[in-house]
Structure 1
Amino acid sequence: MLYSCSNNGDYRALDNTSSDTALVAADSVSTIDQKLIKTADLNFKVKNVRKVGEEVTGLTQHYRGMVMNHHLRSEVERLKEVELDDDSVMRVSVFDTHADMTVKVPAEHLTAFVTAVNRLGVYTTVSDMDIEDNTLTYLESQLRMDSRKELVKQHKQGTIKLKNPQDVLIFKDALVDEQINTKRIDAAVKYSTVSLSFFENNTILKERIPNTNPAVYNTGFGLRLKQAIVNGMHIFAEVFIALANLWVFVIMAVAMWMIYRYYKRKHPVLFADKGTAKPVV
């Protein structure tokens, strides 16, 4: 009880400090500008995706904005090939085209920009616009930043001393984070982000392309007959050359045949048939 009584003055001082902080915060809220972050989201159908993408880029430049992202894609849904002749085919492709864009425009021109973009489409499927109030978040970052600045200042002046030197670095890093957070909020308040997604009807493309099937490329009858004759001459020449390489065996065969004829003429009895042979007296 005696300890509590001796510290009543400290509690009153803490209460006065809290009251002063609350009053400062209330005064800051009343004097600070509202930090309103505006965003929009549009999804609509157009007649020509490429042309509308160029027009959206022109509108963004007109309202002093910037294109942050532009993604266009075409996907083939169905494909058919019809043979026209041996050399070419007709390819019929059915594909759809979509485009996604992210742009930033000054917040004061957001409504005019969205209205102008809506006029580029055939009809709009989704149109959203959101406003987020970040005034208190901005004020919180500022108060934390001021308190950390004051703490670092008092540490440099020697008014207070931190037991761990690493705490100074931690406070400085937190100060940098709060500064970046306030800068981020200021940038989001100044420039509104608009997300766009638009599409068109399916497109049919017909194109005549070379036939890539090698089985259809055959030569004519006359040319194939000519090639067959030439190939036959080549085969005959190869066989003749092969026989010429065997000339020794040819000579030996001829010589053996001549010896056989000569021996048969000299000894006809040995080569006569058994039915026609004459008895020896």
Structure 2
Amino acid sequence: MKAKLFLALLAGVLLLGACGRSSKYEPLREDRTSAADTAAVSADSTKVEITPTKLVKTADMRFKVKNVQQTGDAIAALTARDGGMVIHHQMQADVERSEDIRVSNDSVKRVSALRTNADMTVKLPSEKLESFMTEVAHMGMYVTLRKMDIEDRTLDYLSEKLKLKNRQDLVDQQKKGKVVIKNPVNVMLLKDDMVDQQIGNMRTDEAVKYSIVTLSFYQSNFINQEMIANDDPAAYQLPFVNRLAIALNNGWQLFVELILGLANLWVFITLGIGLWAMYRYYKRKHPAWFAGGIKS
């Protein structure tokens, strides 16, 4: 009898435990279902348009060549072949040392040591960048610097695109009268921001499509010889014989000028001679007067 009572009590306890577990886990399933539905709604509310990856590639290279001018022409031809364009090209030659050697009185040989270098910036399709860099590297004797950078602007592009969409929606609502913007200046500023965002994304698209490559190359110093006119005036003096003949001629010209000058003064010379003759005459005729005059 006791055994039957014990079994009945055990069965009742097990039944109550089973019901408790059932009531315990059922709300959890409901919570999970509710959380899943909320996540689905949240995912639907945050859907954005998938934007292609925006990778901007830039490259830089410095190398030594045999001839700067020929290498520049070859790079320009290679850029045109790959569908790009040269947007900057500067070649410069600096004189390291120079010496003038006198060849004759009016000629000088100038010997100069020149250092030549060039800078180029090219714009070409991004898919041709690596092959272009490899071909350019083979034009040089050796490469001192080669660098390529890739910048991912996907998120920046997407951010500007979403901001532009938000502003466009606001403008549309303002046109429909759903939103009232009291200050017209704010409307103009909003539209200007939209233009800036559109232009910014267009620049990003352009930078993704075309890569910018900066090239710098140089060559060893070379010697340049040229014949130039002597710019020293002292080197153009005449020989001694010619200078002596010119000096004698100048002396004769001075003597002639002196005679001509005296001839122009003939009246004063004649008057002076006459006065001197009269003085001598009266001195000889009246010596006492002149002697007395001198004593007084």
TM-score category of the 2 structures, normalised to the smaller one = 0.7 to 0.9
* RMSD across aligned positions (CA): 2.5
- The aligned counterpart of 1:123 is 142
- The aligned counterpart of 2:112 is 93
Mapped to 2, the partners of 1:201 and 1:250 lie a distance apart of 82
Q: Matched residue of 2:214: which SS?
A: strand
- The aligned counterpart of 2:166 is 147
Q: How does 1:229-244 map to 2 (within 5 A)?
A: 229-244=248-263
- The aligned counterpart of 1:24 is 47
Residues 137 and 269 from structure 1, CA distance in 2 versus in 1: closer, same or farther, beyond 3 angstroms?
closer
In the TM superposition, residue 22 of structure 1 has moved relative to its aligned partner by 6.3
Residues 266 and 188 from structure 1, CA distance in 2 versus in 1: closer, same or farther, beyond 3 angstroms?
closer
In the TM superposition, residue 258 of structure 1 has moved relative to its aligned partner by 5.1
In the TM superposition, residue 39 of structure 1 has moved relative to its aligned partner by 1.0
Establish whether residue 172 from structure 1 lines up as the match of residue 191 from structure 2.
Answer: yes
- The aligned counterpart of 2:5 is none
- The aligned counterpart of 1:67 is 86
- The aligned counterpart of 2:56 is 37
TM-score (norm 1): 0.81
Matched to 2:69, the amino acid is R
Q: Deviations over 1:190-244 (max 9, x none)?
A: 0011110101001111112111111121112332232223222222222112222
Q: Which consecutive unaligned segments of at least 5 residues does structure 2 have?
A: 1-37, 290-296
In the TM superposition, residue 173 of structure 1 has moved relative to its aligned partner by 1.1
Residues 105 and 22 from structure 1, CA distance in 2 versus in 1: closer, same or farther, beyond 3 angstroms?
farther
In the TM superposition, residue 133 of structure 1 has moved relative to its aligned partner by 1.0
Mapped to 2, the partners of 1:251 and 1:168 lie a distance apart of 110
Matched to 2:247, the amino acid is A
Q: Matched residue of 2:180: which SS?
A: coil
Mapped to 1, the partners of 2:235 and 2:44 lie a distance apart of 89
- The aligned counterpart of 1:4 is none
Matched to 1:83, the amino acid is R
Q: How does 1:1-281 map to 2 (within 5 A)?
A: 19=42, 23-25=46-48, 28=49, 31-255=50-274
Matched to 2:152, the amino acid is D
In the TM superposition, residue 78 of structure 1 has moved relative to its aligned partner by 1.4
In the TM superposition, residue 84 of structure 1 has moved relative to its aligned partner by 2.3
Residues 150 and 228 from structure 1, CA distance in 2 versus in 1: closer, same or farther, beyond 3 angstroms?
same
- The aligned counterpart of 1:6 is none
Aligned-pair identity in percent equals 46
Matched to 2:120, the amino acid is M
In the TM superposition, residue 50 of structure 1 has moved relative to its aligned partner by 0.6
Shifted more, 123-132 versus 215-224: the winner is: 215-224
In the TM superposition, residue 265 of structure 1 has moved relative to its aligned partner by 7.7
In the TM superposition, residue 251 of structure 1 has moved relative to its aligned partner by 2.9
TM-score (norm 2): 0.77
- The aligned counterpart of 1:274 is none
In the TM superposition, residue 99 of structure 1 has moved relative to its aligned partner by 0.6
The count of aligned residue pairs is 252
Shifted more, 80-89 versus 181-190: the winner is: 80-89
Mapped to 2, the partners of 1:174 and 1:256 lie a distance apart of 111
Larger Rg: 2
Q: Matched residue of 1:104: which SS?
A: strand
